[in-house]
Structure 1
Amino acid sequence: MLRFILVRLLSSLPTIFIVLTISFFMIRIAPGGPFNLERPLDPATLANIKAVYHLDQPVWLQYLYYIGNVFQGDFGPSFIYKDYTVAELILQALPYSIILGLWALAIAVFGGVAMGIYAALRQNSWADYLLMGIAALGNTVPNFVIGPILSLIFALGLGLVPTGSWGNGGFRNLVLPVIVLALPQLAVFARLTRGSMIEALRADHVRTARAYGLPFRSVVGVHALRAGLMPAVSYLGPTAASVLTGSIIVETIFSLPGVGRYFVLGALNRDYTLVMGTVVLISVFIVVLNLLVDVIYAFIDPRVRYE
């Protein structure tokens, strides 16, 4: 297992390198720049600023500078937040995104799996149709629509919660962002679990276990659930990476100081280094969490071995 983990980590380095390269050139090709202000700077001042950040060099040379610094753990200074480096901004924002993401991930995983199992055990009943209808609604309505609607009802209309901001990080401040962030993922987990559980309950080994007279809870919880959870576990890696590093839309709607909000501000202001830092962070999260999912496979399904 240790050899497998080391090989996967080493093989993931080219993936991160490719993502980093594509992102670097895409943001540089986009029109505009970090110092294109409404009131243009003096040409001599602009030239000095570009020289400080190596923006007066050819793009390929800027790329080599940046890659060399990244491999040394230096993501460079922020072009917009001039008193901070990108690493400092990410370290400040990441705890907020992780707290928000952990709550949303827990609700999505446990709530979605529970809904999927319940719907599968009562297939084609009114409970199945109701739960899958809710899941379909959560999966089709985007969170940039759900967020303002919930804020309009519960914040502006009823006055139960604030419209935004982190505040003290309490329940009233986080309940709407967590629900908006978790709802689409909860819907996906519910639908994946329902489909896989229905298939698992019809498998030969499950039918055999029921024919031997094993208790229903044992048949479902031991024999069917392991196979039924495999698609949900597969989806867990990228989902966890997306919610733990912060939802761009949710953090922007509710004015939360997370990584996603910095990504939006960096993209709008052409803050190259800030955008690239968030891209690297998300890429690393996806690689590590997908590796964790592969390890979980071996514990859920005994047929999976990595020797």
Structure 2
Amino acid sequence: MFRTLFSRFLQGLIVLFVLFTITFFLIKALPYGPFQSDKAIPGHIREKIEAYYGLNEPVYVQYGRTLGNLLKGDAGASMRLEGLPVTDIITQAFPNSIQLGVVAMAVAVLLGIPLGVFAAWKKNTVFDYGAMMIAMIGICIPSFVIGPLLAEKFGRDLEWFPVTGWSRSSPLSWILPAITLGLASAAYLSRLTRAGMLETLSQDFVRTARAKGVGELAILTKHCLRGGLIPAVAYIGPAFAAIISGSVVIESIFAVPGLGLHFIKAIETGDTPVILALVLLYGALIIVANFVTDVLGVWLNPRLRSSR
């Protein structure tokens, strides 16, 4: 088990290195720079600014210096926000993004897994077809469509929830963005849970339990639920990381002061330190989420322990 953990750790480092390298050179290939302005900057001032940030050096020198600084834990300063340290940007905005992601993932799990279990229990009935139809609708309609519709209906018309004004201490401000962000994952979770439960329900030990007179509820909860959730659990880890990294549109719709807005502005202005830091942060989240998912998969399926 220790060797597997060490192997995954090394794989994660290699992935982050490749991700950093590709992102760095893609940024340098952009046709614009971080100091473009509607008002032309005098040439001698632009040269001083570029020299201050080392942009006048060869690309390979910039690459080595940036990589070395990151290895030392120095993510640099934003070129767009007048030298504000990137770590300060992440410290201020990331808690909002992670909180939104956790609440959205909770919405996805609480909606998707029970719906999938219920659909498998009522296989080939109107309840099954209805649940899967709802799931398909949730998959097909993008979040940037669902978000404005929920904001218009439940925010402006009914005035049940605030549309803007995110606050970490006000649960009402979490509801609309969390539901919008979690619906797609809930739809996928319901389909994966249904498939896993149906496969488990078709096993011989389930027929044996029924022959012994075990009730359907006990079969579902005690005999099938743990094995049936394996596909869903395998999806939860990457889905959580994707929710956090893919919440840019939702943060814009509901004015959530998360990392999404900084990421968009950094790309628009070519703010290299911010782009690199956020890409690596999102990459690390996905790696950690996949690792946690693997651990949970081994816990749910003991047969995997001997093969790892």
- TM, length-normalised to structure 2: 0.94
Aligned to 1:196: 196
Comparing 167-176 and 184-193, the one that deviates more: 167-176
How far off its partner does 1:271 sit?
A: 1.2
Instruction: Give the conservation status (yes or no) of the 8 Å contact 1:98–1:246.
Output: no
Amino acid in the other structure paired with 1:56: N
1:162-203 deviation line (CA, Å, top 9, x unaligned): 221314641321111011011111111011111221122112
The answer for unaligned runs of 5 or more in structure 1 is none
> Is 2:249 the partner of 1:249?
yes
Aligned to 2:117: 117
State how far apart, in whole Å, the 2-side matches of 1:240 and 1:267 are.
23
Comparing 168-177 and 80-89, the one that deviates more: 168-177
Give the secondary structure class of the aligned counterpart of 1:34.
coil
Amino acid in the other structure paired with 2:112: G
> Is 2:175 the partner of 1:175?
yes
How far off its partner does 1:277 sit?
A: 0.8
Give the secondary structure class of the aligned counterpart of 1:123.
coil
Amino acid in the other structure paired with 2:126: W
State how far apart, in whole Å, the 1-side matches of 2:143 and 2:287 are.
25
The number of residue pairs the alignment matches comes to 307
Instruction: Give the conservation status (yes or no) of the 8 Å contact 2:241–2:282.
Output: yes
Aligned to 1:240: 240
Amino acid in the other structure paired with 2:74: D
Instruction: Give the conservation status (yes or no) of the 8 Å contact 2:96–2:168.
Output: no
Aligned to 1:150: 150
State how far apart, in whole Å, the 2-side matches of 1:168 and 1:71 are.
32
State how far apart, in whole Å, the 2-side matches of 1:163 and 1:222 are.
42
Instruction: Give the conservation status (yes or no) of the 8 Å contact 2:80–2:269.
Output: yes
Instruction: Give the conservation status (yes or no) of the 8 Å contact 2:120–2:194.
Output: yes
Instruction: Give the conservation status (yes or no) of the 8 Å contact 1:246–1:259.
Output: no
Instruction: Give the conservation status (yes or no) of the 8 Å contact 2:103–2:174.
Output: no
How far off its partner does 1:4 sit?
A: 2.4
Aligned to 2:231: 231
State how far apart, in whole Å, the 2-side matches of 1:88 and 1:22 are.
25
State how far apart, in whole Å, the 2-side matches of 1:72 and 1:163 are.
41
Aligned to 1:98: 98
Aligned to 2:82: 82
How far off its partner does 1:29 sit?
A: 1.0
1:256-300 deviation line (CA, Å, top 9, x unaligned): 111122111211222111111111111111111111111111210
State how far apart, in whole Å, the 2-side matches of 1:164 and 1:234 are.
33
State how far apart, in whole Å, the 2-side matches of 1:158 and 1:269 are.
39
Aligned to 2:138: 138
Comparing 2-11 and 39-48, the one that deviates more: 2-11
Comparing 165-174 and 51-60, the one that deviates more: 165-174
State how far apart, in whole Å, the 1-side matches of 2:100 and 2:188 are.
19
Instruction: Give the conservation status (yes or no) of the 8 Å contact 1:196–1:229.
Output: yes
State how far apart, in whole Å, the 2-side matches of 1:15 and 1:232 are.
25
RMSD between aligned residues: 1.7
Change in Cα spacing, 1:71 to 1:274, as seen in structure 2 (3 Å) is same
Instruction: Give the conservation status (yes or no) of the 8 Å contact 1:108–1:183.
Output: yes
> Is 2:289 the partner of 1:278?
no
State how far apart, in whole Å, the 2-side matches of 1:106 and 1:282 are.
20
Give the secondary structure class of the aligned counterpart of 2:124.
coil
> Is 2:16 the partner of 1:20?
no
Amino acid in the other structure paired with 2:118: Y
1:37-58 deviation line (CA, Å, top 9, x unaligned): 1112111111111111111112
Give the secondary structure class of the aligned counterpart of 1:304.
helix
